[in-house]
Structure 1
Amino acid sequence: MNEKIKKEAIEWMKIIITALVFAFIITQFVKPTLVRGESMYPTLEENDYLIINRMAYKIGEPKQGDIIVFSTELLQEDGNPKDLVKRVIAVEGDHIKIEDSKVYVNDNLVNEPYIHNNYTDGNIDMVIPKDKLFAMGDNREKSLDSRYEDVGLVNEKDIMGKVMIRLFPFNHIGTID
Structure 2
Amino acid sequence: MSTDPPDGPIAAPDAATDDGVARRLAREAGTAEASGADEVPAEGDLDELPDPPAKARPPKSSTRNILEWVAVIGGAVIIAVVVRTFVLQTFWIPSPSMSPTLVKDDRVLVNKLAYKFHDVNRGDVVVFERPPTEPPSEIKDLIKRVVALPGEHVSIMDGKVSIDGKVLNEPYVHGLQTVLDSCPITYVPGIDTTAGFKVPEGEVLVLGDNRVNSHDGRCFGPIDEDLIVGRAFFLMWPPGHAGGL
TM-score, structure 2 as length reference: 0.66
Matched, 1:130 2:187: no
Matched residues in 2 for 1:147 and 1:175: separation? 27
Query: What is the match of residue 239 of structure 2?
Result: 170
> Shift in Å at residue 144 of structure 1?
0.5
Q: C-alpha separation between the residues in 1 aligned to 2:139 and 2:236?
A: 24
Note if 1:8 corresponds to 2:65. Answer: yes
The 5 A counterparts of 1:14-163 are 14-27=71-84, 28-72=86-130, 73=132, 74-75=134-135, 79-80=137-138, 82-122=140-180, 123=192, 125-148=196-219, 151-163=220-232
Measure the CA separation in 2 of the matches of 1:83 and 1:92.
22
1:106 deviation in Å?
2.0
Report runs of 4+ in structure 1 exceeding 2 Å deviation. 73-76, 79-82
Point out where structure 2 has 5 or more consecutive residues left out of the alignment: 1-57, 181-191
Q: Is the 8 A contact 2:176 2:212 kept in 1?
A: no
TM-score with structure 1 length normalisation? 0.89
Cα deviations across residues 144-170 of structure 1 (Å, max 9, x unaligned)?
01111xx21111111111101111111
* 1:130 to partner: Cα distance: 1.0
Q: Structure 1 residue 52: deviation in Å?
A: 0.6
Q: Is the 8 A contact 2:91 2:108 kept in 1?
A: yes
Number of equivalences: 172
Question: Are 1:117 and 1:139, in contact at CA under 8 Å, matched by a contact in 2?
Answer: no
Aligned-pair distance for 1:81? 5.0
Aligned partners of 1:41 and 1:116 also within 8 Å? no
Kindly provide the amino acid, as one letter, of the partner of residue 153 in structure 2. H
2:93–2:103 CA contact under 8 A, matched in 1? yes
Q: Is the 8 A contact 2:233 2:244 kept in 1?
A: yes
Out of 99-108 and 132-141, give the one that drifted further: 99-108
Aligned residue type for 1:114: Y
Higher gyration radius (CA): 2
Confirm or deny: 8 A CA contact 1:69 1:83 kept in the other structure: yes
Higher strand share: 1
Relative contact order (alpha carbons < 8 A, sep ≥ 6): 1 or 2 greater?
1
